């Protein structure tokens, strides 16, 4: 019986609590698809969950050791109703488990990967791409409006810039000095957050997409027009940002990304057509997952981090 090598959270704490484990091959239940994982995305939420913070940690606290990984791309192992063996698929895996060689995923969370789109690009989209898409949708961003995206060079940010441009918006994005050229190259006006406070560089934006939260997210409210709209993505500080926005006459909402195969399909098509590019910062072998967590926690990565499963 083939074994399934996984990287699991063994206890809440630092990156070193991630350990390799061998488990039996998972058995798909009704409505599930068995996937041989090629690559999994590493997201900030993975590190927060591992540290014991937020909704993810609350959900799994009695299930340790638990295998993270909410983004996965790979190959269907056996025929099911919706998919054939050999189909290349990707999806947002709500139950986690992407940090492993094999995974059972709900068929209705998966999208076929079009020809010409790499596993790398496909594995980068389920969490970051859908977060960007759904945040812009929740904000009701329209053509001609001014939108400020915090952390424009990150996994979500670099995709949100491109999707906002495609909607016809005027896009501004905060970035470090090292990432200004990258962010400009995606079509945004890049703002160096270290050079001076953002409200001295931009004001009266219609929409703020806050991908940072906390002090930074709250300070950025000063850039938003009265009656402007804010979508704040980090769940840990969402209530704080919403409360701070209220007296300013700003409509702020938090969000949680949800699987959406139709939106995922559209994102994959945009990548296939060359209308959206996915930046991969680094791909790590599964056994280097601890380092991937160290790196994602810096909040300084450009684009996406991926874990590659061993054959």
Tens digit of each residue's pLDDT (9 = 90 or more) over 225-258: 999 999 999 989 999 999 999 999 999 999 999 9
Domain 3-112+279-308: which topology? Answer: Quinone Oxidoreductase; Chain A, domain 1 (3.90.180)
- Write down the domain spans for the chain: 3-112+279-308, 128-254
CA distance 268 to 226: 36
Domain 128-254: which topology? Answer: Rossmann fold (3.40.50)
CB atoms within 10 A of CB 21: 14
What is the reported pLDDT for 301? 85
pTM to 2 decimals? 0.94
Q: What is the DSSP letter of 62?
A: T
CA distance 78 to 63: 28
CA distance 117 to 110: 15
pLDDT under 50: residue ranges of the chain: none
pLDDT digit string, tens, across residues 120-134? 999 999 999 999 999
What is the reported pLDDT for 134? 98
C-alpha angle with apex 192: 15 to 151, nearest 5 degrees?
A: 40
């Amino acid at each position: 019986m083939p074994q399934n090598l996984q990287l699991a959270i063994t206890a809440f704490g630092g990156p070193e609590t991630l350990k390799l484990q061998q488990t039996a091959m998972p058995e798909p239940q009704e409505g599930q698809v068995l996937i041989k994982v090629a690559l999994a995305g590493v997201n900030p939420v993975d590190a927060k969950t591992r540290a014991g913070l937020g909704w993810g940690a609350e959900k799994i606290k009695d299930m340790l050791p638990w295998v993270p990984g909410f983004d996965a791309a790979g190959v269907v192992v056996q025929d099911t109703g919706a998919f054939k063996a050999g189909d290349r698929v990707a999806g947002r895996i709500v139950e986690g488990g992407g940090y492993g060689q094999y995974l059972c995923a709900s068929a209705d969370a998966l999208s076929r990967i079009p020809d010409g789109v790499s596993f790398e690009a496909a594995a980068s989209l389920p969490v970051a791409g859908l977060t960007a898409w759904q945040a812009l949708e929740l904000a009701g961003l329209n053509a001609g409006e001014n939108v400020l995206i915090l952390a424009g060079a990150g996994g979500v940010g670099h995709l949100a810039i491109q999707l906002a441009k495609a909607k016809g918006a005027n896009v501004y994005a905060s970035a470090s000095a090292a990432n200004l050229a990258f962010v400009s190259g995606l079509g945004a006006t890049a703002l160096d957050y270290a050079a001076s406070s953002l409200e001295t560089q931009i004001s009266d934006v219609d929409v703020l997409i806050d991908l940072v939260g906390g002090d930074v997210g709250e300070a950025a409210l000063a850039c938003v027009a009265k009656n402007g709209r804010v979508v704040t993505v980090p769940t840990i500080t969402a209530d704080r940002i919403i409360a701070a926005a209220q007296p300013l006459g700003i409509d702020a909402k938090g969000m949680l990304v949800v699987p959406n195969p139709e939106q995922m399909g559209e994102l994959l098509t945009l990548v296939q057509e060359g209308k959206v590019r996915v930046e991969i910062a680094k791909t790590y072998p599964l056994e280097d997952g601890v380092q991937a967590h160290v790196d994602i926690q810096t909040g300084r990565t450009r684009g996406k981090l991926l874990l590659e499963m061993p054959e």
